[in-house]
Structure 1
Amino acid sequence: MHLSMLLDMACDGFGERTLVGRSRDGMTADDVRRRARAGAALLRAQGAEALVYLDVNGPAYPVAMFAAAYAGVPLVPVNYRLGEEQLDYLLGQHPGAVAITSEDSRAHAESIGLRPMSSLEWLEATDQADDGSDAEWSEQPAIIIYTSGTTSRPKGVLLRHENLVSYVFGSVEFAGASEKDAALVSVPPYHIAAVANVLSNLYAGRRTMVLEQFTPEEWLTVVREEAVTNALVVPTMLARIVSCAADLSVPTLRNLAYGGAPMPTRVIEKALTVWPDVGFVNAYGLTETASTIAVLGPEDHRLALASDDPAVRARLGSTGQVLPTIELEIRDADDQVAAPGEVGRICVRGDQVSAEYAGIGRSVDDRGFFDTRDKGYVDDEGYLFIGGRVDDTIIRGGENIAPAEIETILLDHEDVDDCAVVGIPDDEWGQRIEAAVVARTGHDIDPESVREHVRAHLRGSKTPDRIHVVDELPRTETGKLVRRHVVSAILHRLASVEG
């Protein structure tokens, strides 16, 4: 299987349909293939062994993805906002690569030895007649995405053609979208969701647009002006959209997908109330699994919101059921399969699961299962609940405590808009529990009231020793919490007080 198959199928099925960009000046499927072939010729002529993408998301991105595929080299989308040291390290892994860069990143890429060109230059260079050339088959991965490197140097996740095509074949209906369907994507190009959305929307025949700089007002405007039917946001974006004072009407929107971080229950409940006719989809996946492996669909959302049964209602906080193409096991501390409702490590297997790292190889057990390092459980009906990362576990007096459990309670407090629970070193307990919280607009937080709220729902050993009120929490563009920065900020604050 090869990514070019997906583009060839799109061209054969609806080649003259606009699939990339705004309706007034977008690219058709035929345009993307024509440009991809020209881009592949450019990469071959320069002897490039990779195509680095170091810019914001936009029309150059899908052309780059398929050009790399046609040339038989990997596309390497890199976070252009990284610090100089990390950026030097990542770019240094791909000497001699061609790099599509922003103007701000151009000189940096060139100093590392890459051959840079701007997104505009790339689009101009690939605007050539279709040479009809075939894609090159090679042993190279299709995409390399670097992990965030929260505890060590970023690792390059190798996504092979078969992983990505398997994901699309297993989750998307070919030509399932109408010619009027349009998707609005609000994730950066170096995130697996950006890759998945290029492929899945193209395969479905749905036009895709990117909102480069997100604001809730701009998002709402684009949805209305471009008659958007499908959208993808991260939880923090949805929270800002449904809470803003702008016109919230979205007459054409039929489906809204979210993921990348936990969704506060009150946010999704409000969104379901504001837009009762919109179908909400919660998607759970990882870079190593080539995107989505579990989905909570629109009907699941509506049934959970309307139910008086606590178990059904709780499913609003789940990631839904696993895709038919994925095998999932919850493993306990002894590496045995856990019973329904029992928390353990989430392990998965399937053709879309890469679990492969540059310089390391595949990280699977002898049965081919990949340990996601996420904790969770499956209920009696097969709904998957995520309980945070294994590495986030707080060990207080020998007891393992999951921050996610406490954070769920904190977010139910009427004054709390965002929160993070972390373990802080302690001579007596090993670690003590502390929380950083952000107040909702127009609300003031009484730390002791928040502690009492937690104590009323969880036992005393899970109540944070201290509540720190902060203006905002360190999150990535996709809403992922950077816990190490929370720990550092709290330690700095405590040192300042003690000093």
Structure 2
Amino acid sequence: MNGLTVGYLAERNARIQPDAEAVVQRADGERTETVTFEALNRRVDRLANALAERGIEEGDTVATYTGNRVETIESYLATMKLGALPVPINHRFKAGEVSYVLEDSDATLCIFGEAGRETIAGVHDEFDSPVEAYLYAGDSTPAFAADYETVRDGASTDPVEIVPSRTDEAAIMYTSGTTGKPKGCVLTHDNVVQAAENSLYEVNLSRDARFMVVTPLFHIAAFGLFMMSFYVGGTTILVDDFEPTSVLSVLEDESVTASFMVPMMSRAVLSADPESYDLSKFEHYMTGAAPSERSLKEAIIETFDCNLYDVFGQTELSPSTTMLRPENALERPDSVGRPIINVEVKVVDETGDEVETGETGRIAYRGPTVFKEYYGMPEKTAAVFDDGWFVSDDLVRMDDDGFVYFVGRADDMIITGGENVHPAEIEEVLHDLEGVDEVAVVGVPDDQWGERVKAVVVPEGEAALTESTVVGHVEANLAGFKKPREVEFRDELPRNPTGKVLKNELA
């Protein structure tokens, strides 16, 4: 073996602390499954052997369409041990979207659970796909699939020969696809392991850590959180469906020490009477995937009496890139922090030259967590790399102290009357308007201006907001061409499962 791989971590943990809890699965207010490190590694070896019996070998791809369950972790680890690549699929995708990912990733085997039974049946019956075998984790196995548990438990327990090198491919993680079809990011074992090491340096977890994962494991952010916990030998508590009071119960019952919640989760939990629960063990609160305004940060810190970390990144970086640490959370609440260890950052213009401090540009990265390539997209891969740097579509600015401020996405930019407008700047101003709970700014076609600025606002409670109030507040704080020319009020914003606003549904 050349270097530490994900599969080796499973064996190391089983050897060092065989009887410690590795994964706890929670549902309906109770534990539904608890697996020790020794049992997990044994099950992973069995599943890996079962996959090998079905023709899976190094370089193959195995799709998973499952929730936050033990089988999901087992599937990832077993596939990686073989040198094959797990392909997690958003379990809210419909049949056509799932079929796209299966075909795009060349998956020859698909593991799915009860929540995805109907969708995968639709894929099997209605779409052509490269999948040759299905494993079903649940009751009443469909005729076209084999029972996951029977297949796993009937296989050999012989140790699997682990993929030999950190530089080998480990997984294909798909981007969120908020503005188009998702792209498959090929991550290596080095990417995944180094990302865990980087985050652990910034957030000091120990073997006593009890990490609740409530964001979906098909996303690199949640898998990265699991890897942090797994790397140090902590316990991972899986919660499959987000429900505020259930989350608070899990935090109390399981003596959770760390977790990650996107801002919309944080707002919901803060509204669910958290003071009624014993959360004294909860020390590390991580957030990200969407902006958290100062008032939300203040409420989290005051309510949970915890260390708050605001994390920024993307799938291509495995995923974390910058972090606003607890000591800066309220000093620079609009910032996404400084680059984390082992991640180099610069801000560049369209030609690839660095911009002046304080100017807006694309954020570019270099380091061991940068992904290998977009699967099957050599031209797209070449287009995003410049002399060893991955150049993102995220627009940021950096201050004199090295703090990064997210401005928006290059493909979100609104060009109105020849002027460039960054939605995040307007959203930041509107978050300071009393009565605004959430807001998203988009560009919509306009015959006169090319595009006009549209603000979609979610009022707070019974707040009596008007279009003129919203427009006037922006006009009082920003240049006139940045003011919304259209305001829409909604009860909620459309989001993907990781909390990112689906702006394409608002335009």
Provide the TM-score with structure 1 as the length reference: 0.89
Comparing 476-485 with 86-95, greater Cα deviation is found at 86-95
User: How many Å separate the matches in 2 of 1:15 and 1:347?
Assistant: 42
Q: Deviations over 1:268-300 (max 9, x none)?
A: 12212222x201111111111111111112222
Alignment of 1:75-474 (within 5 A): 75-93=86-104, 94-102=106-114, 103-111=117-125, 112=129, 113-120=131-138, 121-123=147-149, 125-127=151-153, 130-137=157-164, 141-172=169-200, 177-178=205-206, 180-245=208-273, 247-249=275-277, 250-275=279-304, 277-301=305-329, 305=330, 313=331, 315-354=332-371, 356-361=373-378, 362-363=381-382, 364-474=384-494
Q: CA deviation at 1:106?
A: 4.3
**In structure 2, do the counterparts of structure 1 residues 425 and 162 end up closer, same or farther at CA, with 3 Å as the change threshold?**
same
Q: CA deviation at 1:173?
A: 5.7
Amino acid at match of 1:167: A
**In structure 2, do the counterparts of structure 1 residues 57 and 114 end up closer, same or farther at CA, with 3 Å as the change threshold?**
farther
User: How many Å separate the matches in 2 of 1:28 and 1:73?
Assistant: 24
Amino acid at match of 2:366: R
**In structure 2, do the counterparts of structure 1 residues 448 and 292 end up closer, same or farther at CA, with 3 Å as the change threshold?**
same
Q: CA deviation at 1:151?
A: 3.9
User: How many Å separate the matches in 2 of 1:91 and 1:365?
Assistant: 26
**In structure 2, do the counterparts of structure 1 residues 47 and 129 end up closer, same or farther at CA, with 3 Å as the change threshold?**
closer
Instruction: Tell me if the contact between 2:80 and 2:163 (Cα under 8 Å) persists in the aligned partners.
Output: yes
Q: Secondary structure at the match of 2:63?
A: strand
Comparing 174-183 with 10-19, greater Cα deviation is found at 174-183
**In structure 2, do the counterparts of structure 1 residues 176 and 154 end up closer, same or farther at CA, with 3 Å as the change threshold?**
closer
Comparing 357-366 with 398-407, greater Cα deviation is found at 357-366
Q: CA deviation at 1:174?
A: 13
Q: CA deviation at 1:140?
A: 6.6
Q: Deviations over 1:341-367 (max 9, x none)?
A: 211100001111015101123444342
- Aligned counterpart, 2:143: none
**In structure 2, do the counterparts of structure 1 residues 274 and 367 end up closer, same or farther at CA, with 3 Å as the change threshold?**
same
**In structure 2, do the counterparts of structure 1 residues 335 and 143 end up closer, same or farther at CA, with 3 Å as the change threshold?**
same
Q: CA deviation at 1:13?
A: 3.2
Q: CA deviation at 1:98?
A: 3.6
- Aligned counterpart, 1:5: 8
User: How many Å separate the matches in 1 of 2:468 and 2:327?
Assistant: 39
1:481 maps onto 2:501 in alignment? yes
Instruction: Tell me if the contact between 2:23 and 2:238 (Cα under 8 Å) persists in the aligned partners.
Output: no
Q: Secondary structure at the match of 2:22?
A: strand
Instruction: Tell me if the contact between 1:73 and 1:140 (Cα under 8 Å) persists in the aligned partners.
Output: no
Instruction: Tell me if the contact between 1:355 and 1:370 (Cα under 8 Å) persists in the aligned partners.
Output: no
**In structure 2, do the counterparts of structure 1 residues 174 and 483 end up closer, same or farther at CA, with 3 Å as the change threshold?**
closer
Q: CA deviation at 1:80?
A: 2.4
Identity %: 30
**In structure 2, do the counterparts of structure 1 residues 123 and 280 end up closer, same or farther at CA, with 3 Å as the change threshold?**
farther
Amino acid at match of 1:92: E
Q: CA deviation at 1:425?
A: 1.3
Comparing 456-465 with 5-14, greater Cα deviation is found at 5-14
- Aligned counterpart, 1:37: 45
- Aligned counterpart, 2:82: 71
User: How many Å separate the matches in 1 of 2:110 and 2:469?
Assistant: 56
Equivalent position to 1:58, from 69, 92, 114: 69
Q: CA deviation at 1:124?
A: 5.2
- Aligned counterpart, 1:19: 22
**In structure 2, do the counterparts of structure 1 residues 332 and 177 end up closer, same or farther at CA, with 3 Å as the change threshold?**
closer
Higher RCO (C-alpha 8 Å, min separation 6): 2
Q: Deviations over 1:115-164 (max 9, x none)?
A: 22223443454347742232144897311122233444322111111211
Amino acid at match of 1:38: R
- Aligned counterpart, 1:496: none
- Aligned counterpart, 1:494: none
**In structure 2, do the counterparts of structure 1 residues 162 and 432 end up closer, same or farther at CA, with 3 Å as the change threshold?**
same
Instruction: Tell me if the contact between 2:96 and 2:123 (Cα under 8 Å) persists in the aligned partners.
Output: no
Comparing 190-199 with 368-377, greater Cα deviation is found at 190-199
User: How many Å separate the matches in 2 of 1:141 and 1:101?
Assistant: 26
Instruction: Tell me if the contact between 2:255 and 2:281 (Cα under 8 Å) persists in the aligned partners.
Output: yes
Q: CA deviation at 1:373?
A: 0.6
Q: CA deviation at 1:423?
A: 1.1
Q: Secondary structure at the match of 2:354?
A: coil
User: How many Å separate the matches in 2 of 1:210 and 1:457?
Assistant: 44
Gaps of 5+ in 2: 139-146
Amino acid at match of 1:337: E
Amino acid at match of 1:349: R
Q: CA deviation at 1:330?
A: 0.3
Comparing 74-83 with 122-131, greater Cα deviation is found at 122-131
- Aligned counterpart, 1:492: none
User: How many Å separate the matches in 2 of 1:135 and 1:401?
Assistant: 50
**In structure 2, do the counterparts of structure 1 residues 285 and 123 end up closer, same or farther at CA, with 3 Å as the change threshold?**
farther
